[in-house]
């Protein structure tokens, strides 16, 4: 490709004459044949994750060029940086210039934050910069690897978003890597929930912006409200030139140019089942009585007679007997429950709240408020609420003050949002299992990055017992043995309730320990960072995406390293691997083991009766567990696919009345 065409291609990735004041990729409708071909390509992509010969060649060239930089003093290095930026503006993101940029960023990193990128991090950063998803094992330094891609794009004038899963990591990474970016002459900002519009606008105005997936997506929806239905790029540019009160000055973002997503499988896959809905509060005091009455009615209905529950699909359905019983109710004419459809919908929501949503698993009650727990990360989500009255019904169930209903202002799925970035890269420790979907939905090819040091992680034989009490006894016996060896133990549980039950057992056994669940979100970093001390026992809910290393004391490494115990199976093998990946990082020793029980809720809900029966035979237990996980993964994939297809169909049907979001 010629230098002029590279420059044009790079120019299209940043705001300006080529891409407009608010660059983004338009929605592309595809024929079913194209979708079929894309899915087939995604299937083939699974077999292409380990090709890294070309990456090793690139890393060698960066090493070679970096040797010439080590002898330069700071003024000479600054001059090299200025010349590189001029070359980027003129020639674009050519391979030669990107190699020079990586070497310069690596040298600056060593001088500013005393960290020098490993060869594996160079390979990961190169993959991200070129629109791929780098699968780097947990503990391989993804945060530092991302600086290579982010800084290179920013040096070329491309506004870059580094997106991660929680606000603690956003603030930590922006501050930790800030000295490196400033050493390169770049500005860096971060966005958190507590910021107002002016602070957000200033943060997005920086060369590199750290933010969570939720914050950037909702800020984009707010920009959609400003934009309205008139979205012509030319009109926006003319407004910026001539209008005193133009819309460009009201936007929070500068467009969707380039994003690097940390824990990409969590963001793009696990969180993609639920659409993002921008709302505002509306006074619904008059409806509170209706919600309480509905909950009272639902409590009188009998399971398997008046209604049935599908635990696999998390759905409640009224039977004919239940419908007839509700029809016989004597209601005032003014009651919203007079409407049959509204009555049955609200009662089903109430039954859902009573039977499918459980305290300390799906939500917490704190200070008189119901706070949703993210099933994927175990963190609380205080700014989220269930829709269609479900939030108020759960609040009524827990005898909390009822919140106001929410009016929908905009709606968008993660699938549609991230496909609008002009270039998308990412990183995670677990992506190979969903490589097909990542390609077919987002056009992201998974590239597995070699380990910096050979892994010393050991897997111990899985233990499966019949009852939960037996499981806890096995866990405690294992903890006692490991503590006697001077090793720390990290125990993963499936819910807040399980973590607290195990905590009580450990306390009764006089074993000192710390608990990390949704109640201790603020102490997360301190608890995880201390989990590698000798004889330390840490009980934690889902560890996916924690993002904090567990450093090992010297005596711990000599004793065998951190040991991880999983007390439940997660919905996907990827999440299990995230937990096991907490041990044996960067060549450290470590081990892991699963200790499970057959009466676990995961198995009871997702295994057919015949499968539970054959799992009583020890030789078939692993087969049964794998079948249950595959069943959930297929169901979750169908939900995501149907959501995307539904959004596309709604976009076509409502095109005459304006944009969907």
Q: Which tens digits make up the pLDDT trace of 89-137?
A: 888 999 999 999 999 999 999 999 999 999 999 999 999 999 999 999 8
Q: Are 118 and 451 in contact (CB under 8 A)?
A: no
Average pLDDT over residues 256-277: 90
Q: What band does 45 get if pLDDT is binned at 50, 70 and 90?
A: low
The continuous run of DSSP H or E covering 599 comes out as none
Cα 626 from Cα 615, distance rounded (Å) = 11
Average pLDDT over residues 451-478: 93
Residues sharing a CB contact under 8 Å with residue 29, sequence separation 6 or more, in sequence order: 648, 652
Query: Does 132 reside within a domain?
Result: yes
Q: What is the pLDDT of residue 48?
A: 67
Structural domain count, the chain: 4
Same domain, 373 and 475: no
Q: What band does 619 get if pLDDT is binned at 50, 70 and 90?
A: confident
Q: Which residue has the higher pLDDT, 280 or 308?
A: 308
Cα 96 from Cα 62, distance rounded (Å) = 10
Same domain, 597 and 632: no
- Is residue 562's pLDDT more than 90? yes
Q: Which residue has the higher pLDDT, 50 or 261?
A: 261
Q: Is 428 strand, coil or helix? A: strand
Cα 291 from Cα 347, distance rounded (Å) = 9
Question: Which of 396, 394, 389 is CA-nearest to residue 361?
Answer: 394
The encoded tokens of residue 466 equal: 């019949």
Q: What is the pLDDT of residue 350?
A: 94
Q: What percent of the chain has pLDDT over 90?
A: 50
pTM of the model: 0.87
**Can you name the residues that pair with 303 across neighbouring β-strands?**
307
Could you give the angle at the alpha carbon of 573 between the alpha carbons of 432 and 140, nearest 5°? 55
Q: How many CA atoms lie within 13 A of 502 on its CB side?
A: 34
Burial of 244: CB neighbours in 10 Å, binned 0-12, 13-18, 19+: exposed
Same domain, 268 and 288: no
Q: What percent of the chain has pLDDT over 70?
A: 88
Query: Does 618 reside within a domain?
Result: no
Burial of 200: CB neighbours in 10 Å, binned 0-12, 13-18, 19+: buried
Same domain, 327 and 422: no
Same domain, 242 and 312: no
What's 44's domain CATH number? 3.40.50.300
Residues sharing a CB contact under 8 Å with residue 274, sequence separation 6 or more, in sequence order: none
Question: Nearest 5°: phi and psi at 297?
Answer: -65, -45
Rounded alpha-carbon distances, angstroms, from residue 143 to 117, 188, 268, 429, 633: 11, 15, 18, 12, 28
Query: Does 16 reside within a domain?
Result: no
Cα 213 from Cα 414, distance rounded (Å) = 9
The encoded tokens of residue 473 equal: 């006894």
The encoded tokens of residue 543 equal: 């560890």
Same domain, 67 and 187: yes
The residue written with tokens 């904090």 in the block is: 548
Query: Does 408 reside within a domain?
Result: no
Question: DSSP labels for 188-241?
Answer: EEE--TT--HHHHHHHHTSSEEEEEHHHHHHHHHHHHHHHTT---HHHHHHHHH
Same domain, 291 and 266: no
pLDDT, the chain, mean: 86
Q: Are 264 and 427 in contact (CB under 8 A)?
A: yes
Cα 355 from Cα 357, distance rounded (Å) = 6
Query: Does 157 reside within a domain?
Result: yes
Query: Does 139 reside within a domain?
Result: yes
Same domain, 566 and 645: no
Cα 603 from Cα 622, distance rounded (Å) = 12
Cα 660 from Cα 13, distance rounded (Å) = 25
For 399-456, the pLDDT digits (tens) are 999 998 777 888 889 999 999 999 999 999 888 889 989 998 999 999 999 999 999 9
- Is residue 47's pLDDT more than 70? no
Q: Please tell me which of 49-53, 90-94, 165-169, 540-544 the model is most confident about, judged by mean pLDDT.
A: 90-94
Last residue of some domain: 424, 448, 472? 448
Q: What is the pLDDT of residue 354?
A: 94
Q: Which residue has the higher pLDDT, 537 or 383?
A: 537
- Is residue 382's pLDDT more than 70? yes
Query: Does 165 reside within a domain?
Result: yes
- Is residue 545's pLDDT more than 60? no
The encoded tokens of residue 573 equal: 């093998």
Same domain, 269 and 368: no
Least confident of 22-26, 328-332, 480-484: 328-332
Could you give the angle at the alpha carbon of 404 between the alpha carbons of 398 and 406, nearest 5°? 115
Q: Do strands 160-164 and 208-212 pair parallel, antiparallel, or not at all (unpaired)? A: parallel
The encoded tokens of residue 118 equal: 């490993």
Average pLDDT over residues 234-251: 68
Q: Which residue has the higher pLDDT, 613 or 29?
A: 613
Same domain, 38 and 137: yes
Same domain, 351 and 474: no
Cα 266 from Cα 433, distance rounded (Å) = 12
The residue written with tokens 């070699």 in the block is: 450
Rounded alpha-carbon distances, angstroms, from residue 211 to 148, 173, 293, 368: 18, 10, 42, 29
What is the extent of the structural domain holding 477?
456-606
Q: What is the pLDDT of residue 607?
A: 74
Reported for 242-251, long-range contacts at CB under 8 A and 24+ positions apart, including other chains, are 248/21, 248/22, 250/226, 251/22, 251/201, 251/223, 251/226, 251/227
Q: Do strands 589-597 and 463-465 pair parallel, antiparallel, or not at all (unpaired)? A: parallel
Query: Does 289 reside within a domain?
Result: yes
For 591-603, the pLDDT digits (tens) are 999 999 888 877 7
Average pLDDT over residues 377-389: 80
Question: Which of 116, 150, 123, 121 is CA-nearest to residue 261?
Answer: 150
Same domain, 477 and 438: no
For 349-377, the pLDDT digits (tens) are 999 999 999 998 889 998 889 999 877 66
Helix then strand then coil, % of the chain, to nearest 5: 50, 15, 35
């Amino acid at each position: 490709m010629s230098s002029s065409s590279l420059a044009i291609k790079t120019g299209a990735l940043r705001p300006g004459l080529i891409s407009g004041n608010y660059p983004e990729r338009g929605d592309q409708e595809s024929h079913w044949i194209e979708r079929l071909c894309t899915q087939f390509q995604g299937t083939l992509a699974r077999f292409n994750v380990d090709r890294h010969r070309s990456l090793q060649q690139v890393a060698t060239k960066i090493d070679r060029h970096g040797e010439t930089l080590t002898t330069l003093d700071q003024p000479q290095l600054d001059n090299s940086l200025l010349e590189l930026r001029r070359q980027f503006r003129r020639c674009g993101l050519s391979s030669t210039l990107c190699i020079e940029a990586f070497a310069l960023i690596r040298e600056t990193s060593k001088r500013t934050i005393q960290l020098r990128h490993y060869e594996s991090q160079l390979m990961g950063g190169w993959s991200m910069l070129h629109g791929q998803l780098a699968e780097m094992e947990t503990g391989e330094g993804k945060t530092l690897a991302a600086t290579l891609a982010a800084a290179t794009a920013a040096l070329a004038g491309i506004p870059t978003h580094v997106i991660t899963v929680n606000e603690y990591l956003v603030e930590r990474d922006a501050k930790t890597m800030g000295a490196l970016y400033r050493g390169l002459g770049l500005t860096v900002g971060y966005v958190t929930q507590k910021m107002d519009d002016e602070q957000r606008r200033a943060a997005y105005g920086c060369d590199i912006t750290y933010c969570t997936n939720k914050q950037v997506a909702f800020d984009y929806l707010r920009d959609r409200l400003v934009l309205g239905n008139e979205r012509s790029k030319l009109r926006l540019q003319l407004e910026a030139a001539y209008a005193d009160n133009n819309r460009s000055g009201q936007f929070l973002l500068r467009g969707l140019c380039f994003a690097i997503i940390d824990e990409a499988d969590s963001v793009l896959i696990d969180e993609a089942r639920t659409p993002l809905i921008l709302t505002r509060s509306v006074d619904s005091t008059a409806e509170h009585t209706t919600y309480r009455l509905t909950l009272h009615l639902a409590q009188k209905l009998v399971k398997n007679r008046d209604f049935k529950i599908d635990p696999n699909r998390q759905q409640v359905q009224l039977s004919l007997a239940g419908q007839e019983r509700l029809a016989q109710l004597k209601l005032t004419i003014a009651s919203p429950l007079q409407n049959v459809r509204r009555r049955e919908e609200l009662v089903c929501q109430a039954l859902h709240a009573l039977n499918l949503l459980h305290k300390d698993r799906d939500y917490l009650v704190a200070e008189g408020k119901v706070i949703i727990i993210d099933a994927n990360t175990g963190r609380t989500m205080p700014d989220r609420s269930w829709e269609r009255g479900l939030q108020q019904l759960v609040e009524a169930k827990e005898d909390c003050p009822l919140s106001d209903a929410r009016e929908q202002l905009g709606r968008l799925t993660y699938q549609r949002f991230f496909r609008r970035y002009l270039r998308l890269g990412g990183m995670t420790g677990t992506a190979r299992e969903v490589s097909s979907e990542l390609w077919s939905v987002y056009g992201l090819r998974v590239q597995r990055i070699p380990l910096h040091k050979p892994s010393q992680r050991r897997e111990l034989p899985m233990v499966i017992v019949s009852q939960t009490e037996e499981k806890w006894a096995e866990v405690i016996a294992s903890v006692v043995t490991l503590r006697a060896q001077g090793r720390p133990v990290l125990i993963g549980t499936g819910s807040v309730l399980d973590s607290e039950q195990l905590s009580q057992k450990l306390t009764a056994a006089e074993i000192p320990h710390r608990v990390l669940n949704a109640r201790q979100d603020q102490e997360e970093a301190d608890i995880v960072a201390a989990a590698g001390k000798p004889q330390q026992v840490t009980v934690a809910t889902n560890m996916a995406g924690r993002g904090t290393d567990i450093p090992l004391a010297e005596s711990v490494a000599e004793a065998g390293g951190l040991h991880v115990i999983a007390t439940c199976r997660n919905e996907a093998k990827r999440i299990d691997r995230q937990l096991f990946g907490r041990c044996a990082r960067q060549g450290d020793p470590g081990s892991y083991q699963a200790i499970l029980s057959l009466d676990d809720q995961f198995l009871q809900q997702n295994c057919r009766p015949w499968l539970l029966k054959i799992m009583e035979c020890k030789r078939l237990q692993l087969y049964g567990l794998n079948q249950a996980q595959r069943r959930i993964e297929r169901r979750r994939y169908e939900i995501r696919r149907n959501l995307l297809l539904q959004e596309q169909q709604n976009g076509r049907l409502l095109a005459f009345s304006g944009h969907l979001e």
